[in-house]
Amino acid sequence: MNFSLFEWSGYTNSVKRFVLITFLLCVAYYVLESINGRAQMADFRVYYEAARAFLNGSPMYGEAFGIGSGYYKYSPIACFPFIPFALLPYTAASILYYFIIAYSIIWFSLRLWFDLKSFEGLMSNSGWVLFVISIFMADHLERELHLGNVNLFLLIVAYQIWRLIRDKKDLTAGVLFGILLLFKPHFLILLPYFIWKGKWKVCSWALIVFLAGLLLPAFIKGFSLNLNLLLQWKSALADHNIQLAESPNTIYGILNRFVLNHQGGQMFLLATLLIVAIIVAGFIWSNQRRLKNNDIRFIEYFLLLALIPNLMHTDTEHFMWTWPLIVFVFVGLFEMPYKNRLPVIILVGLAFFPYCLNSPDIVGKKMGHLFDEGGLLGIANLILISVALWIYKVKSNRKVPY
């Protein structure tokens, strides 16, 4: 379904209500943030100031922009989309960026829903189910609005890559994949999957775009200065990392904390990663054998994206990349036999608390810290991934487009 938020034909009244109420909530949230002096959008400030620094020839890396932890840690070219914002006063730029995020949240909510909804009986209930999904995602979307980060946009790009590959547009998909890697190398997790699936055009164009993106600033700043910027980017990435065994929401950190009592070493990390790789590869191989084709499949692709914050040390905002699987779970709930729904509802309910209520404004600083830094958010994400895989298994006896 092709749609725009400005073309209402074909929407049910419940979907229209979802769009209007969600937009009004975003407006109200910005007003409250402004009244309370919190409309600072700290992450956006980093991108904004880095773009200004690039234009002015001042340092981009190693400078705290806005707040003490506000360091720019992306490739030099990743600041280019923010150059138009940097030409505006900060207040105007931040308001504009805020409402671009708000629009994108609503647009992507509808995009996911209408792409995944295959049960016609859901059409009349689309609005309230969209509200339920939005409540489930509320904490992560609130952080995106509050901080002004790019994680939502990177997820949208990753989603468009899946749609383009599905539609046999590998060249465009490869270009977008290269852009993703310029923002966050975390997306390299998709590279072995694309190679397995024989998507050589995607990989080739991604490499071309990635290398071009590294070199392009040299034509503006000169090759020597660009090389210096790339080395600073490498250092910024290294500074942002910690020991994986102590990263609380990764699989390594969870096992190290709750099973090994902080005794895990390098071999433990490698063994854990190998086991996860074998499990994921076994799942992909079984799908390929059962379905007798080598297509890129929704469940496999977004399983890898959802696993990123469980396998790499990242900020907690990256757990929003499980959003497509969460929509898949809610769609699947309505398509499953009634006898299979109760275990799913219980598991999703358990995941709801650390995944959706990990805000200190809701549960207090102590409990919020436990959710974010005690490994419970990572466990909740693994529960949601497991539920999605189980629903897929239940659905796999029927012909499904996932």
Give the pLDDT score at 358.
73
Least confident of 82-91, 221-230, 390-399: 390-399
Could you tell me the CA-to-CA distances from 279 to 124, 276, 311, 379, 385 in Å, in that order? 38, 5, 14, 17, 13
Alpha-carbon gap, residue 144 to 320, rounded angstroms: 9
Alpha-carbon gap, residue 251 to 245, rounded angstroms: 9
Q: What is the tens place of the pLDDT at every residue in 329-351?
A: 988 887 777 777 888 889 998 99
Least confident of 12-21, 77-86, 280-289: 12-21
The predicted model gives 354-374 an average pLDDT of: 71
The predicted model gives 114-132 an average pLDDT of: 66
Alpha-carbon gap, residue 154 to 150, rounded angstroms: 6
Which residues are CB-neighbours of 69 under 8 A, at least 6 positions away?
A: none
372 versus 215: the higher-pLDDT residue is 215
pLDDT band at 172 (very low <50, low <70, confident <90, very high): very high
371 versus 137: the higher-pLDDT residue is 137
Q: What is the tens place of the pLDDT at every residue in 287-298?
A: 988 888 888 999
Beta bridge partners of 71: 64
The predicted model gives 134-157 an average pLDDT of: 92
What is the SS3 string spanning 84-99? HHHCCCHHHHHHHHHH
